[in-house]
Amino acid sequence: MSTWEATGVGSHPGEDHLEAIRVVFGEVPGLPYLPELPARGVGADMIGRTAGLLVDLPVEVQPSGWRLADRPGRDHRRAVDHLRRDLDGLEEVGHDYSGPLKLQVCGPWTLAGALELKFGDKMLSDAGAVRDLVASLAQGVADHCAEVRRRLPGVTEIVLQLDEPGLPGVLAGTVPTASGFGRLAAVEEWRVEESLKLFPDPVVHCCARGVPYALLRRAGVRGVAVDAALLRRRDDEEFGELFEAGVALLLGVVPGRDVALPDTGVVARPAVELWRRLGFAPDGLAGKVTLTPACGLAGASPRYARAALAACRKAAQVLKDDPASGMQGG
């Protein structure tokens, strides 16, 4: 497995996409990524940005949110335009870059729980619509990855991150209907497993409680990205099985909003403590765990966003040089 050391989750503050890309390439050069700037408005948000990638499923914004449309309109074009500008910026900043690159898209189940059908409920309510959505997204993501490779020929591999904050709710049957008065039926785990296999070795990011670790392992995902603050000791066995199966862990170790950042040892501590509880050899830690902010940085200041990425990179170096130091400092 690749040793990525540190990276970010995806979103950044502000509206200057060129500056955000420069920060990413400067602070997490081991696994840079294409940042998302939702502050730019409609089409730059997680749902709209990914919906713009869908093949033959145009979308529009209604008062209730994003909905399937008969044909591409202003909202759809806005999402496509935002992404095109971001790719232009990526090409400008990373033209001579060589190495892995991470791309983030909203995962199919969170997307299905957010997008509405033209006349009716959310796509999640209709198994046939979900199948169409998954196929459309898989094709759109493949096209997106191919374009990035054309623009940045030095990219050695694309790490695809599927953002699935809604997945625990989809499995538990707690996603509200479009009216808000009911709940949509729980989705069987096998359907989620099968859908994830349509995407190339994804990293699945979930910042909610109840991450379905066993399901993700069975689906053969490349990595799991979670918030260290939500780790529970009763999940240790699941993490041990993930590591044994060769699944990478992207661990969120600094908050996504402005705080006073602790020293490097404290930032590294959640990874060190988990690794120690599992009883693995200390020298294997750096190759299995990648440090990230706990969630996206859209709610942070630009200065903090840069500092948070730098803190993750420095803590990752500590893990590589001296894992025991992650237990020191306060």
pLDDT class of 283 with cuts at 50, 70, 90 = confident
Q: Looking at residue 291, what is its pLDDT? A: 97
Tell me: pLDDT of 323 over 80: no
CA 38 vs. chain centroid, Å, equals: 14
| Of residues 254 and 286, more confidently modeled | 254
% of the chain residues with pLDDT over 90: 90
Tokens in use for 258?
A: 């402005």
% of the chain residues with pLDDT over 70: 96
What whole-number distance in Å separates Cα of residue 182 and Cα of residue 162?
27
Residue 163 contacts residue 103 (beta carbons within 8 Å): no
SS3 291: strand
Tell me: pLDDT of 163 over 80: yes
Burial label, 151 (beta-carbon count in 10 A; 0-12, 13-18, 19+): middle
Q: Looking at residue 284, what is its pLDDT? A: 85
Tokens in use for 180?
A: 């808000």
Q: Which pLDDT tens digit goes with each residue over 297-317?
A: 999 999 999 999 999 999 999
Residue 269 contacts residue 323 (beta carbons within 8 Å): no
pLDDT class of 328 with cuts at 50, 70, 90 = low
Q: Looking at residue 320, what is its pLDDT? A: 84
Q: Which pLDDT tens digit goes with each residue over 87-140?
A: 999 999 999 999 999 999 999 999 999 999 998 899 999 999 999 999 999 999
pLDDT class of 329 with cuts at 50, 70, 90 = very low
Tell me: pLDDT of 49 over 60: yes
Amino acid at the residue 130: V
Residues with Cβ within 8 Å of 278's Cβ and at least 6 positions away in sequence, in order, are 236, 239, 240, 243
CA 293 vs. chain centroid, Å, equals: 11
Residue 173 contacts residue 166 (beta carbons within 8 Å): no
**How high is the mean pLDDT of the chain?**
94
Tell me: pLDDT of 42 over 60: yes
Residue 250 contacts residue 271 (beta carbons within 8 Å): no
Q: Looking at residue 330, what is its pLDDT? A: 41
Q: For residue 122, what is the DSSP state?
A: B
| CA-atom Rg of the chain in angstroms | 19
> 212-243 burial, b if ≥16 CB within 10 A, otherwise e?
bbebbbbbebbbbbbbbeebeeeeeebbeebb
Q: Which pLDDT tens digit goes with each residue over 165-195?
A: 999 999 999 999 998 899 999 999 999 999 9
What whole-number distance in Å separates Cα of residue 120 and Cα of residue 131?
17
Angstrom CA distances, 98 to 30, 69, 78, 146, 155, stand at 10, 39, 30, 16, 5
Strands (E) in 148-299, as ranges, are 155-163, 203-205, 223-227, 248-254, 289-293
Nearest Cα to 152, choosing from 97, 75, 115?
97
Angstrom CA distances, 17 to 34, 95, 244, stand at 9, 16, 38
Amino acid at the residue 293: P
SS3 159: strand
Q: Looking at residue 327, what is its pLDDT? A: 53
Q: Which pLDDT tens digit goes with each residue over 182-239?
A: 999 999 999 999 999 999 999 999 999 999 999 999 999 999 999 999 999 999 999 9
Tell me: pLDDT of 282 over 90: no
